Structure 1
Amino acid sequence: MESKKILSKETFPPPLICLVCGDVARGMNFEVITCMSCKAFFRRKKESRCLLDNDCIITKQTRGACSACRLKKCFTLGMDPKVLRGTTKRAAAYINSQQQQQQQQTYVPQPTTISLLSKDHSTLTFDEWNILSNIVHAYDEQNIVVRIQHALQEQSSLPLKLRSKQSSTLDLVGLFYTAIQPFIERSPYFHDLPIVVRQVLIHNNLNGTGAFNSLFGALQANVFDNEAHILNCNEIYGAEYVKESERVMRRLESDTTLIKMLLIILVFSSNCSIISSEQIFSLSYTSTTSAMILTHVQDIFVVILWKYLVYKYGFIEAVRRLNRLVKNYLDLLNRVHENHSKQHAEMVNIIVEKTADSLALN
């Protein structure tokens, strides 16, 4: 009979990252890979209340800011309170109330057991959890939302003439496109590809991924609430285009992890943008090995995305959210196709060329 594999620190693939806050993890704690800080937090934390919208982003830097959202994330990831020894009746009642609140927030009931997927609490392997965690934290470390908010504040503090400069607004929009580069660089899979394949991916995908990141970042940073910025955007893109873009933005997926996973999937796509025939950069002249590597990476990310969806929302809601996620991006591509701003096109072309050259050299 095959012996059961013992779960220990040595069985996990390096590097270990805490799934709660992104700090260096020390192994499995309460059935989830966590750091010592989050382990101690989950063991001792008492009832608290979020002062914002119950959706605070938990990182190594912010984990001490909101205990309620940190504990909520612990439960969402599957940390098991039953492992706690000596739990008091008061603590047990609080844990039960947290679980009930989590269930009430679910949009549809979890489906009954009809397959192997629904029998397990999570079908994500340790490797897949680490990849998912690395992707999320690679994006979060850019602090793109903070940078945009700071840029908007600086713009609002300028005199009226300088505040209305279109170049300042284009620079701000360009930040969302340039932010894709450090996000890509954190992926070891990208550096496994030959230089020519990296360049093709950047030329074919940065326009689409940059635009998607723009809407996502604009939503997170409340960009459309800044009057000066919107007035400049109306002059550059047209008021109707800006209004429709805001409508698409408001319908974006609320689970930010799904957006970040879709971004990395799009990065490794052969082509995820609408481009003209003369702009097509083909992968056909690259080697068969490169094409196989690219397909393999796509498979890894898509499987992780699907497993995460089923794990968090159940099968039926996972299907709905995946369909909505794809539709969000297709709607965005229509907006990109209808964008006739020459200033924007020139800016994006410059960023694409610089990014392709930089990543190829790196």
Structure 2
Amino acid sequence: MIEEIVDEVPTSAISSQSMIAVRKSKRILSNCRICGDSAVHINYGVISCASCKMFFYRNINVEQRETLKCDFNDNCEINIYNRHICSFCRLEKCFAMGMQRELIRGSRSTKNRKKNRPTTTRPLLVRQDKKEQPQQFPTLNLLQSDVSTLNADQWNLLSNLIHCYDEHGGLPYAQHFIKEQNSLPLKCRFKCAAIGEFFRQMLHEGQLIYEKNGDFLSLSSQDRSTLIHTTVKHTSCFGGTFILYQTQLMDYESFFQSGIILFGLPAMVSAKLLSDLFDSDMTLIKLVISILAFSTIDYVVYENTASVEMKKFIEIIHVQDMYTDLSWRYLLYKYGHTEAVLRFSNLIRCIFNANSAIIQATALDEFPAIIDYVVKRTERILVTDR
């Protein structure tokens, strides 16, 4: 009798219940094979999070892959905290974990199938194929200036600013510091004294990117001195946090704890938030640091020093506008208007967040002392000795 009742149950009901159970079981979280983040689905052949799925989809085409390169000997460790830093190593890990471009559906696979179609089709069908073809992605090769709004002089300026930062931005010093600290016993790593000296030397080296900046050197000695006194705190905070972002120093617990002792918990939290807000486009961040070096912004904190007026204020504003316009044109060229607006808005958020970190760090003596040290040394090199 029991068997008869079971047999009378519709198979559709059994299958639907089992499918619901299967779906629920699939909702159990796993770890992304690429970065270690939480993951639910298999994307392109590998269990991966939504971020790595979209990253693989956006970077799989040949043109995009050719623009990627690693600044750390092609051996970056990819995890949830640093996955946005090195696109080259992240993509290589996607392939190493088993992601397959053949499993991508949509515009890319359709585009490849259309390329492989025989050319003996009727004219009407050829016209229809052209109409249905998806709009091609703009090239990311910055040498293709004929499709950009940047002229030759602006491309040269962009190249010079980026080259100056790469040469004198302080990143090599930070990488050497990490290597030195990792060679020490665990108990001796990232002590407060070492961290304080690290910030003094790193931020001082970061200011030397203007030693070969023609726009800066063309100013009068008084204006150069005034700019150094008013902008070093901004370029140091923004540029210093950018180096921490590139080297992942914030992820070292002992480094973060020493930073709290030196600069206070609120300042370190703001710096960490700023690091998380940074755009993945390194070129854009480097341009923003150049803009800040010629900015006239200041935070509302009482300082026991008299303000000095600039002799040629209009010239400084002109340089600031020129660098800002260059950054905006670069964004338009590389990302289009909508994405450019979003990225530029995020940069403004980053600047405000850096401003908050400066105010909070000023509450303790260490940050003002470091800034004073950097200002005096930079002024001696770029003003007094010239």
Query: TM-score normalised by the shorter chain: which range applies?
Result: 0.5 to 0.7
CA positional deviation for 1:164: 5.1
- Structure 1 or 2, whichever has the larger Rg, is 2
Alignment partner of 2:338 out of 316, 329, 351: 316
Distance 1:324 1:300 in 2: 20
Q: Deviations over 1:336-357 (max 9, x none)?
A: 1011221222121111122112
1:24 — aligned with what? none
1:86 — aligned with what? none
| 2:153 maps to amino acid | D
CA positional deviation for 1:105: 11
| Cα 1:104–1:313 shift into 2, 3 Å | closer
1:328 — aligned with what? 350
1:242 — aligned with what? 268
Q: Secondary structure at the match of 2:149?
A: coil
CA positional deviation for 1:187: 0.7
Answering whether residue 79 of structure 2 is matched by residue 56 of structure 1, we say no
Q: Deviations over 1:167-210 (max 9, x none)?
A: 21012222342133221112111111010100000000001110
Q: Secondary structure at the match of 2:341?
A: helix
User: Are the counterparts in 1 of residues 266 and 357 from structure 2 also a CA contact under 8 Å?
Assistant: no
Shifted more, 293-302 versus 203-212: the winner is: 293-302
CA positional deviation for 1:57: 5.0
Answering whether residue 194 of structure 2 is matched by residue 168 of structure 1, we say yes
Shifted more, 301-310 versus 157-166: the winner is: 157-166
User: Are the counterparts in 2 of residues 253 and 259 from structure 1 also a CA contact under 8 Å?
Assistant: yes
CA RMSD, aligned part only?
A: 3.6
List gaps (5 residues or longer) in structure 2.
1-61, 75-86, 92-110, 116-133, 141-145
User: Are the counterparts in 2 of residues 176 and 217 from structure 1 also a CA contact under 8 Å?
Assistant: no
Q: Deviations over 1:225-263 (max 9, x none)?
A: 223322211222234542342122111111111111111
| 1:213 maps to amino acid | G
| 1:132 maps to amino acid | L
Distance 1:310 1:153 in 2: 38
| Cα 1:55–1:212 shift into 2, 3 Å | farther
Q: Secondary structure at the match of 1:123?
A: coil
User: Are the counterparts in 2 of residues 204 and 281 from structure 1 also a CA contact under 8 Å?
Assistant: no
Distance 1:271 1:249 in 2: 21
Q: Within 5 A, what are the aligned runs for 1:260-275?
A: 260-273=286-299, 275=301
User: Are the counterparts in 2 of residues 190 and 198 from structure 1 also a CA contact under 8 Å?
Assistant: yes
User: Are the counterparts in 2 of residues 266 and 272 from structure 1 also a CA contact under 8 Å?
Assistant: no
1:354 — aligned with what? 377
1:293 — aligned with what? 315
Answering whether residue 272 of structure 2 is matched by residue 259 of structure 1, we say no
Distance 1:126 1:273 in 2: 36
The percentage of counterpart residues that share the same residue type is: 27
Q: Secondary structure at the match of 1:140?
A: helix
User: Are the counterparts in 2 of residues 207 and 348 from structure 1 also a CA contact under 8 Å?
Assistant: yes
User: Are the counterparts in 1 of residues 170 and 206 from structure 2 also a CA contact under 8 Å?
Assistant: no
User: Are the counterparts in 2 of residues 218 and 224 from structure 1 also a CA contact under 8 Å?
Assistant: yes
| Cα 1:48–1:332 shift into 2, 3 Å | closer
1:137 — aligned with what? 163
| Cα 1:299–1:243 shift into 2, 3 Å | closer
User: Are the counterparts in 1 of residues 195 and 255 from structure 2 also a CA contact under 8 Å?
Assistant: yes
| Cα 1:184–1:221 shift into 2, 3 Å | same
List gaps (5 residues or longer) in structure 1.
1-46, 73-91, 107-119
User: Are the counterparts in 1 of residues 270 and 354 from structure 2 also a CA contact under 8 Å?
Assistant: no
Distance 1:300 1:127 in 2: 12
